[in-house]
Structure formats: C-alpha cells, structure tokens
Amino acid sequence: MEISNKEAAKLLKIATLMSVSVAILIIFIKLIAWFTTDSLSLLSSLIDSMLDVVASVLTFMAVRYSLLPADEDHRFGHGKAEDIAAFSQSVFIAGSGVFIFIEAIARFMNPQEVSNHIAGISVMVISSLLTLMLLSYQKYVISKTNSGAIKADSLHYKTDLFVNLLVIISFVSSMLFKLQWIDPLLALVVAIHIFKSAFSVGKDAFDKLMDKEFSDDDRAKIIDCVMTNKDVKGVHDLRTRSSGIKPFIQFHLELDGNISLINAHAISDDIEMKILKFFPNAEILVHHDVEVKKDLEPLKGRVVPLKKIK
C-alpha cells in the first residue's frame, strides 16, 4: 500500500467510475431477461443491481468529496464522507433484502412457472463475468488504498456474484425438474445473505465513524516502531483512528529530559518515517514528555486539570 495520495486518488476515481458503468450495463441486460422469464430470483438480482447503482453513485460522489484537501472548516480533511457513504450503503443493502424477502414469501403462497430459461441463464453468466472483472480491479484498489467505501462497494458485487450463481441454479432446476418452489426458496437465501452483508458493511463504517482504535496487531506495529529507537525511554497514550483512507496516529514519547529540542524532533522524525512504512499517508502527532520515573508510574497518562484563573 506504498502509494502517494495522488496515486490513491486516481485509483479511487477509476474504481468508482467503473463500478457505476458496470452496474448500469448489468441492470440493462437483467431488465430484459426479467421481462422474458418472470423469475423472482432474477427480479431479486435485478433489484439488488439497481440498488448497486444508487450505492455506486453515492460512493462515486463521496470518494471525490473525501479526497478534497483540508480547509478552514474541515482541518482534518473530508475522509469521513467515505465512511458515511459506506454506512448509507448498508441501509440500501438491507432495504433490498426486505423487499426480496417479502416477494419470496408471496411467491411461495402463489407459485408461478419460470419461462425462457436459456435467456435467463445466458444473462446471468454475462453478468457474472462483468462482475468478476470489476471485483478483480476493486481488489487491487483496496490493496493499495484500504478504502472503506470501495470495500463496501466490492461487498455489493461479491453479493451479486453469489446471487447470480443462485439464479442460475434456479433456472437449471426449474428447466430440468419443473420445481416451482426452487425460485422463491433461493430468493429467500439471497435475502438472508443480503442482511448479513448489510450488517458487515454497516458495522465497519460505524466503527470508523466512531473513531474505533486500530487492531491490536496494528497498534503493536506502532509501538515496535517507536521502541526501536535507542533514545526512546517509553511511550504512552497511543491513540489511533481512521477517516476514510487516511490513518491518524498520536502518542506521547518519553525522552531524556536533558536532550535538546532539536534532538527530540530528530528522534520523532526517525520514528515517524518507520511508522509511515506500515501506514502510508498517515497523519502522525507526537507529544514529547520527560521520561516517567518508576515512583511516578501511577501518574502516567493522566490528565491534570488546570486551576481556574480568577
């Protein structure tokens, strides 16, 4: 993931534009197929793709906004726009699941025969190939940028791929065995899978919006980078969060109280360079503290309030 902000921005813009284009094309061919087959599982796939367009357009706009540089009103940048978009997508995903679930129950009560199976299967195979190509590029972009919005968008299309497979199974079963209940049954499976995906996307976005800490492994990497410098006496009050694709890291660095301010900053610069190898584009804030003595250990990390000035 060692790329510049400019390169990351370019990858994100291409990924979002490709996502919208593929989604619109897939909707067009699925719409034609649904009119000729009257398949509920195909309809569920079509609705899911329609919501993908809405979600992809939302991601398209959010990513562009999130890439704007910091300004007077948003001094930490606009990265949260990505996380808001991802959370909104989870709502869209859940909404499509509710609709498909209701339609599946209705079709169980009033079974309908699926027609024109070959056309339906052909369309789903084409849709799957287009989705695979998009997922391949999104995987590459995620590996380079760790974008939450692209992760959420990619999860949509992974769901689509799963849905496409179930729809193909539905058509084959209906064509070979004349089983009318297969179509609504697989639609129910799709709805449950969509609910699960919505929860996953929503939780990840919510965690970022609430500034959840990095994982224990990532925090350990930061501590290791700090402590590899022989002049460092200790570190405390490590705090981490993410805003879109930008990580934020801050901590208190314990140093010998007799070293100069110039040397203290040189130590910080060395540590920051090491951390950036693991977290490119991170914004790092280091506070210099005098080494905490053992007899003052209980006071480490405490905030001492200032006395009121009369």
Render pLDDT for 102-161 as a digit per residue (tens, 0 to 9). 877 877 787 766 667 788 888 889 989 999 999 999 999 888 887 777 877 787 788 778
**DSSP string computed for 67-108:** TSPP-SS-TT-STHHHHHHHHHHHHHHHHHHHHHHHHHHHHH
> Do 216-299 and 5-209 fall under one CATH topology?
no
Specify the pLDDT at position 307: 43
- With cut-offs at 50, 70 and 90, classify the pLDDT of residue 229: very high
Helix (H/G/I), strand (E/B), else coil: 243:
strand
Bigger pLDDT: 63 vs 241: 241
Q: How do beta strands 246-255 and 283-290 pair? A: parallel
Q: What is the C-alpha to C-alpha distance for residues 80 and 90, in angstroms, rounded to an integer?
A: 16
Q: What is the C-alpha to C-alpha distance for residues 42 and 169, in angstroms, rounded to an integer?
A: 11
> Considering the domain 216-299, what is its CATH architecture?
2-Layer Sandwich (3.30)
Question: Is the Cβ–Cβ distance between 107 and 188 less than 8 Å?
Answer: no
The DSSP secondary-structure symbol of 286 reads: E
C-alpha neighbours within 13 Å on the C-beta side of residue 7? 13
Residue spans per domain, the chain: 5-209, 216-299
> Considering the domain 5-209, what is its CATH architecture?
Up-down Bundle (1.20)
Q: Give the end-to-end CA distance of the chain in Å, rounded to a whole number.
A: 52
> Residue 281, Cβ neighbours under 10 Å: how many?
16
Mean pLDDT computed over every residue of the chain = 81
Any alpha helices (H) in the chain, and if so which ranges?
5-37, 40-66, 80-109, 117-145, 148-177, 182-209, 216-227, 261-278
Residue 272's identity, in one-letter code, is E
Helix (H/G/I), strand (E/B), else coil: 27:
helix
Convert the pLDDT of each residue in 150-196 to its tens digit: 877 787 788 778 778 877 887 887 788 777 777 778 778 878 877 88
Helix (H/G/I), strand (E/B), else coil: 303:
coil
What is the percentage of the chain residues whose pLDDT exceeds 90?
A: 22
Give the pTM: 0.60
Name the β-bridge partners of 290. 255
- With cut-offs at 50, 70 and 90, classify the pLDDT of residue 292: low
Q: What is the C-alpha to C-alpha distance for residues 65 and 73, in angstroms, rounded to an integer?
A: 14
Q: What is the C-alpha to C-alpha distance for residues 44 and 41, in angstroms, rounded to an integer?
A: 5
Bigger pLDDT: 270 vs 16: 270
Structure tokens of 8? 């990351």
